[in-house]
Structure 1
Amino acid sequence: MTKILITAAGSHGDIAPYTGVGARLRAAGHDVALATHDRYATLVRAAGLEFRPLPADPRTHRPADDTAVRTRPADPGSRRTLMRQAAAFIKELGGGLADAARDDTGLLLLSATTAPLGHHLAEAHGIPYLDLPLVPGAPTSDFAPVVSGGRSLGRWGNRAAGRLSLRIIDRLYADASRDLRARLGLPPATPRTVRRRAEAVGRPVLHGFSEVLVPRPTDWRPGLDIVGNWWPWHAPDAQLPPAVEDFLAAGPPPVFVGFGSMAGGEGERLSTIAAAALRRAKLRGILQSGWSGLSTRHTSSDDGLLTIGEVPHALLFPRMSAVVHHCGAGTAAAGVRAGVPTIPVPVTADQPFWAARLTSLGVATTPIPFKELSGDDAVARLSHALTQATTTPAHRTHATTAAHRLATEDGPGKVLKAVERLTV
């Protein structure tokens, strides 16, 4: 038995997949703790894992003009604001990671957000570690960095942009890394130096997404592997709430609409647009409140609509006729897993990348960038996409085919094998 510490920071989609990984490792006999923010303590403990708190909840580290930042990513001022917010978040996170590690920790499993700090912990304590990112981060000629908007820059441009993105990440972690190394008694070393050391020795990195969506780049070094999705844990006997079951039984399969941790404070506007688009397309809908606060109370009529809170996508999505969402990595994969078409409405960060992947796979309509879901044509545009997604047989066929492929993958099993190799 190995005492394993998983560290993950961010929003729900950045945390939940690691509960599935942790539960699989625990079932194999390992002692597993997951360090993350307090708001996810119940989620972690429900999966049978020890919870350890991390500071710097991202929901409290937002600029006052959050909506403007998220909907106008091209604005240089907004980008500078986001960089400052991210650096502050990371600096607070560093001290919490040091507190979460215990003397008996035998292995560190690190998310993309915590890895640049976790590498210092591993060095200080002399313990092995494994990076488990949910998005591709290593430079490649095959596609541009995931935060660049999903558009190819050409093979040379893609790789150059990938290298630049790593330097930007190094800069974001510079202050936190300096403070953490001093606290741990380590000699000074920049994030770039520590990263290049890991690359030089070929440290393994297991990516928690499927090659159905992102085939492994041909120019990645050995050790960078794509192993399949890690699905959030839910109880084997979990069921949808009775109110949801009643709504599903009352009519044809509805459309799911949700924006996860995006679009804070936009609930009234988005609810109004979604309800009107659904009515125009003659479809029922389920609005997931999320951080935006979607709700039927913002609509003129709740006929054919239901508001829900957190519900496992694995249980809900297969019952939908289509899903409308922001295209976070986990939500995008959940839609594919369910075999239902997607209407992508990407907001920021890696979401345009995943939206483009879904469209290229044939399981989604043309993306509607969130910043364009406004104005007089917003309802007409969303309604048209809803009609396309629910009436075009090719979308459903491609979604079903992709779902069958995902069903053959065992991402947590690949992690377990890697853990066993590292802890022999």
Structure 2
Amino acid sequence: MWQGSRIGDGLARKQVLGLPTAPFWGLYNSKHFQRYPILYGLSSSVISKPSDWHNTHITGYWFLDEAQDWTPPSALLDFLQSGSPPVYIGFGSMSSRNPEETADIVLKAIELTGQRAILQSGWGGLSKSDLPDTVFMVDSISHSWLFPRVATVVHHGGAGTTAAGLRAGVPTIVIPFFGDQPFWGQRVAELGVGPKPIPRKQLTAERLAESIHTTVTDRSMRQRAADLGAKIQAEDGIANAVAIVHAIEKHGVFCGEESGSNW
């Protein structure tokens, strides 16, 4: 991960901060670097803090919600109000890989389940005219607004989309492509708020339909998802992170941490 971002880090240091470039292997084993607190912007309800982490804080997620005057498209509102909560399916930039094949699998899975669905755009040659009345396509849309209004969320397992789905309190189905996505998919399954992830290369309409059916009908899973969502909604990760930054500004660089795991 470090090697993939090292060039950009070096440019930022040189052109923006006026700092020397970091070592080839990064700063993570540097004693100087370890003097600074490390902040993880995720929920301790999703990943609890390991006992051997020092000078490290799990603050809660850092969400950036839509502006207060933001309004959703009227056509989307009409679709949501015209029937039962739909299934959300969106793979972000991942859907550009074999988009036609992925679209065929998804549409067949939706047909097999008999569910209504919202597809986020990015499906290659698929247009709105190709869709049945039970499927609605949206462009970029606020996850914090939409996800609480759907029955389940199906996505690629990116860290941000996973966080938004968990906060919404609805079950999650992860279709990981690469990188950290398999990890988040496995974590969702371990928490009991979604079925086992289905790697994209193993995705079939039948497997996706089965997972959708599970998330819609499994009451225990839905309750666990709702409970986890409530915990995440009660957190203020941004305020916790700001408090740590203010402490650094006030007291300077420090080692160790207070007895509480979160500030």
Which category describes the TM-score, using the shorter chain as reference length? Answer: 0.7 to 0.9
Q: Give 3-state SS (helix, strand or coil) of 2:137's partner.
A: strand
- For the pair 1:98 / 2:14, whether they are aligned, the reply is yes
Give the counterpart letter for 2:51 in structure 1. Answer: T
1:421 Cα deviation (Å)? 1.4
Please, what is the CA RMSD of the aligned residues?
2.4
What's 2:217 paired with?
391
Partner of 2:66: 234
1:114-137 per-residue CA deviation (whole Å, 9 max, x = no partner) reads xxxxxxx5xx3xxxxxxxxxxxxx
Of the three residues 208, 228, 232, the one matched with 2:41 is 208
Q: Alpha-carbon deviations, 1:38-66, whole Å to 9, x = none?
A: xxxxxxxxxxxxxxxxxxxxxxxxxxxxx
CA distance in 2, matches of 1:338, 1:395: 14
Q: Tell me how far 1:96 sits from its aligned partner.
A: 4.6
Shift of 1:191: 3.9
2:198 corresponds in structure 1 to 368
- Looking at structure 2, the residues matched to 360 and 199 of structure 1 have their Cα atoms a distance apart, in angstroms, of 36
How far the C-alpha of 1:196 sits from its partner, in A, is 2.5
Q: Deviations over 1:80-139 (max 9, x none)?
A: xx99xx64x6425632553334xxxxxxxxxxxxxxxxxxx5xx3xxxxxxxxxxxxxxx
Shift of 1:276: 1.1
In structure 2, C-alpha distance between the alignment counterparts of 1:224 and 1:330, rounded to whole Å: 21
Asked if structure 2 preserves the Cα contact closer than 8 Å seen for 1:332 and 1:354, the reply is: yes
The whole-number CA distance in structure 1 between the counterparts of 2:112 and 2:82 is 20
Shift of 1:264: 2.2
**Distance across 1 between alignment mates of 2:26 and 2:189:** 38
Matches within 5 A, 1:268-283: 268-283=100-115
Indicate the residue corresponding to 2:84 in structure 1: 252
For residues 250 and 199 of structure 1, the distance between their equivalents in structure 2, rounded to whole angstroms, comes to 59
Say which of 196, 206, 211 aligns to 1:380. 206
Secondary structure in 2 aligned to 1:395? helix
Aligned AA (1:99): Q
Q: Which residue of 1 aligns with 2:259?
A: none
What secondary structure does 2:119 align onto? strand
TM-aligned CA deviation for residue 237 of structure 1: 2.7
Cα distance in 2 for partners of 1:372, 1:313 equals 26
Give the Cα–Cα distance (whole angstroms) in 1 for the partners of residues 103 and 127 of structure 2: 7
Moved over 6 A (4+): none
Report the secondary structure of 1:94's partner residue. helix
Question: Hey, what does 1:355 align to over in structure 2?
Answer: 185
Tell me, yes or no, if the aligned pair for 2:103 and 2:126 is still in contact at 8 Å. Answer: yes
2:116 aligned with 1:284, yes or no? yes
Question: Does the 8 Å contact 1:271/1:294 carry over to 2?
Answer: no
Q: Is the 8 A contact 2:121 2:138 kept in 1?
A: yes
Residue 324 in structure 1 maps to residue 240 in structure 2:
no
The answer to which structure, 1 or 2, has the higher relative contact order (CA under 8 A, 6+ apart) is 2
- Runs of 5+ in structure 1 lacking a partner? 1-81, 102-120, 125-179, 182-188
Q: Which amino acid aligns with 2:165?
A: G
Q: Name the TM-score, length of structure 1 as normaliser.
A: 0.55
In the TM superposition, 1:17-56 aligns within 5 A as none
Question: Quick check: 1:304 aligned with 2:134?
Answer: yes
1:259-270 equivalence runs, <5 A: 259-270=91-102
Letter in 2 for 1:277: A
- The two structures have a TM-score, normalised by structure 2, of 0.86
